[in-house]
Amino acid sequence: MTTDSKFPGLVDGLHGQARQEREELILWLLDRGFDVDQVRNTLSPILLPANRVYGDDGTLVSARDVADSSGLPLELILRLHRAAGLATVDDPDKAVYTRADAESILPAAAAVDHGIDLDHVVLVVRLLMEGLTRAAVAMREGGLQALLRPGATEVELAEAFEALARDTQPVIDPMIKELAWLALRNSFETEAISASERSAGTLPGGRPITVAFADVVGFTRLGEALPPEELGELASRLANITRDVVADPVHFVKTIGDAVMLVSPDAASLLRAVLELMEAAVAADLPQLRVGVAYGLAVTRAGDWYGSPVNLASRVTGAAPPGAVLVAESAREAIGDAPGLIWSFAGSRHLRGVQESVSLFRATRAAVE
C-alpha cells in the first residue's frame, strides 16, 4: 500500500523519484516515532529529527497550559508569545504551539520577577528574536552547504541534519551565552552612567556623541542591474568590512539597507575609522562609498541612537560626493586639530529637514612620509 493511500495528502503534487523519496522519508519518520500529523503539519519533514534534537518533542500545548504549569499570569505569557513572533490565536486554550516553542519565553518571564519592567523585557525578546532568527538562517545555510551533495536522498539528508544537530547542540548554548555576555559587557561600558544620572536615579539621557553614516553610491541603480542575492551580498560585505575596521571607542550600530551607522564619544576616532573604512572598501573592490559625520546630543535606546546628530549625519551623507567624507561644522569643532587629517571647506548647504544652513568640511588623511 502506498503512502498516499495510507496517509492522504502527504505526497500530493510529487511524481517519479521525488514521490518515491518522500514516501521513503515518511515511512522512515514513522518508524522513528513521528506520527502522521507531525509529518503533515511541518513544511520540511526532512528537518523533523533535527528539530527534535533541539527540543521539539511534538507535544502541542496552549498558552493557558504554559500559564498553569509555570504559575505565571496568562496575559504575561500571551504578550511574550507575541514578542517572540509566535502565531497569535484568539483562544488561549487552543493547543497550537509545540511545547518547546511555547515554553521558550519562560526565562524572559522570570526577568520580570527581578524588577525589570515588562515593556523592556518585551523589547529585549523582540530584539533577540530578530537577531537570532537571522543567525539561525545563516546557520541553516551553513548546514546546507556542508551536507548537500549531488544525489542525496531525503532520508539521507534527514539523517545528516539530525547528526549535525546532535553534534552541534552542545556548543550552541555556550556560544550564544558567551556572545550575549560580550555584548552586555560592551554595552555597560558604552552606557556608563554619570554622577548626575546616579543622583537623579534616571537612565542615561541625551549625551554628546559623534555619528557617521557610510552608504554605497548608486545602490538604487545597482539594484536594477544586479540580482537580489548579489545585492544582499554587497550589503553584507560592507557590514563585514565595517566590523573589521571599527574598534573601541568607535561602535558599529547597524546596517540600513545600503548604509552602515557608526557612533563614538570620541569624534576624532570616529573620523579616522570612516577614513579607514573608505580605504578598506576600495581595497575590497566595493562600489564607492560616501560618508557624513555630525556631532551633538543624542539618546540611545535598545542599542540604537536618536537625535539631531543622527538626522544631520544622514543628511550630510546624502550631500557628500562619491568617495568623500563630509563633516558637519559641529563635528569639525569637536575634532579640532587632531593630527593626521587634512581639511578643506566644502561650502554651506541647506539640507532637507535642517532649519539653518550647515557648514561642511571635507576630511582626508594626511600623506604618511
- Bridge-based pairing of strands 289-301 and 325-328 is parallel
* Domain range list for the chain: 3-41, 60-190, 204-365
Going from the C-alpha of 38 to that of each of 25, 31, 48, 111, 290, the distances in angstroms are 13, 13, 8, 33, 52
222: which 3 cell numbers? Answer: 545597482
> pLDDT-based confidence at 226, cuts 50/70/90?
low
Going from the C-alpha of 143 to that of each of 100, 134, 155, 168, 242, the distances in angstroms are 22, 14, 16, 10, 26
**Sign of the CA dihedral with 118 first, then 123, 124, and 129 last:** positive
Is the pLDDT reported for residue 198 higher than 50? no
Indicate whether this model's pTM tops 0.75. no
> pLDDT-based confidence at 59, cuts 50/70/90?
confident
Tens of pLDDT along 243-271? 888 888 899 888 887 789 999 999 999 99
What pLDDT score does 195 carry? 46
d(CA 285, CA 271): 21
Q: Please identify which residue in the block is written with the cell numbers 556608563.
A: 192
Judge contact between 101 and 65, C-beta under 8 A: no
Tens of pLDDT along 142-181? 877 777 778 888 899 899 889 888 888 888 889 988 888 8
Judge contact between 344 and 362, C-beta under 8 A: yes
Tens of pLDDT along 10-54? 887 788 898 889 889 999 999 999 988 888 878 788 889 998 998
- Dihedral Cα 165, 167, 170, 176, nearest 10 deg: -60
Judge contact between 223 and 231, C-beta under 8 A: yes
Going from the C-alpha of 243 to that of each of 30, 276, 305, the distances in angstroms are 47, 12, 18
Whole-number percent of the chain with pLDDT over 70? 88
d(CA 342, CA 368): 12
Tens of pLDDT along 296-306? 988 877 678 88
Comparing 189 with 154, the larger pLDDT belongs to: 154
Is the pLDDT reported for residue 187 higher than 70? no
d(CA 29, CA 23): 10
Sequential DSSP letters for 305-354: EEEHHHHHHHHHHHHSPTT-EEEEHHHHHHHTT-TTEEEEEEEEE--TT-
- Residue 221, Cβ neighbours under 10 Å: how many? 10
d(CA 348, CA 365): 22
Judge contact between 86 and 101, C-beta under 8 A: yes
Fold classified for 204-365: Alpha-Beta Plaits (3.30.70)
| Spatial CA neighbour of 290 closest among 340, 249, 346 | 346
d(CA 209, CA 57): 49
Query: Which of 60-69, 98-107, 243-252, 333-342 has the lowest average pLDDT?
Result: 243-252
Give 45's DSSP letter: G
> pLDDT-based confidence at 288, cuts 50/70/90?
confident
